[in-house]
Structure 1
Amino acid sequence: MDTVIQQSVEAQLVAAAPRMATIPARLRYDRTEPFAVTMTFPARSTLEGVEVTWSFARDLLTAGLTGEAGMGDVRLRPHGEDQVVMEFHAPEGTAVVRVCAEELRRFAARTVALVPPGREYLHLDLDRDLALLIRDTR
């Protein structure tokens, strides 16, 4: 069984210009990190010219499909019936994109099929994580 799910999505960059640029992005879920998903934007679509990856809670993704979710660096909210607005806040500024809600639903459903909610603990390697924490304190 696969341990990683990846899915490409098209994100529309919300900007002051009347026409929104469409940029590719990649969603990723790894069952060895069962509480998190990542969204990566390629270098050509970022102001810094480097690939940018945002990590956020899987629960945040699923909550953002039906209502406003998030208080920190990543925030989501439905936009009509067919899109979700995703905000990414950093010290350098804020990026806002719209993504097809159905693509996010499909991705979320695949993560749930791989690791059902409430069963994430079965995929954690607590001994490894504890060893990493202890190593960093020495």
Structure 2
Amino acid sequence: MSSVIEQSVQARMVASAPRMETLPATLQYDRRDPFAVRMAFPAPATLEGTEVSWEFSRELLAAGMEGPAGVGDVRIRPFGYDRTVLEFHATEGIAMVHVRTAELRRFLRRAEELVPSGQEHRFLDLDRSLTNLLGGAC
């Protein structure tokens, strides 16, 4: 069984214009980092022209589909019946994207099969994390 889940999703960039641009994005979950979810946007979809990746907690994603969640760089909330808004706050500004809630639920179900919620601690590699933190000095 693979330790990584990747799922492509279609995100819709919220802009001031009435038409929202559709962007490809990839959600990723790795059981070696069981608390985190990554959402990456490919280079052509970003203002910088380089891939941009955001990391946030799986718990935040789940909570944000039910009600407003997050107070930092990533904030998530439901939008209507079938969409979820993800807000990414950076010094350059705020990017807001809509993603179909069903796609996010499917992703979280797959992550749950890989690492059940509440069992994340069983998948942590503390020795490797400590080595990385100390720059390989262990």
For the criterion TM > 0.5, the same-fold answer is yes
Q: 1:70 matched to which residue of 2?
A: 70
Residues 80-120 of structure 1, C-alpha deviation per residue, up to 9 Å, x if partnerless? 11000110000111100100000000001110111001111
Q: 2:56 matched to which residue of 1?
A: 56
Q: Provide the aligned length of Structure 1 versus Structure 2.
A: 138
Gap regions ≥5 residues in structure 2:
none
Q: Percent identity?
A: 58
Q: 1:6 matched to which residue of 2?
A: 6
RMSD: 1.4
3-state DSSP of counterpart to 1:18: coil
Q: 1:28 matched to which residue of 2?
A: 28
The question of 1:100 aligning with 2:100 is answered: yes
**Aligned partners of 2:40, 2:115: CA distance in 1, in Å?**
21
**Aligned partners of 1:22, 1:99: CA distance in 2, in Å?**
10
Residues 7-47 of structure 1, C-alpha deviation per residue, up to 9 Å, x if partnerless? 00000100001110000000000000000000000111111
What displacement does 1:121 show?
Answer: 1.0
Moved over 2 A (4+): 131-137
Q: 1:15 matched to which residue of 2?
A: 15
3-state DSSP of counterpart to 1:50: coil
TM-score normalised according to structure 1 size: 0.96
**Aligned partners of 1:29, 1:84: CA distance in 2, in Å?**
18
Gap regions ≥5 residues in structure 1:
none
**Aligned partners of 2:8, 2:63: CA distance in 1, in Å?**
20
Q: 1:133 matched to which residue of 2?
A: 133
**Aligned partners of 1:127, 1:6: CA distance in 2, in Å?**
26
3-state DSSP of counterpart to 2:76: strand
3-state DSSP of counterpart to 1:127: helix
What displacement does 1:136 show?
Answer: 7.2
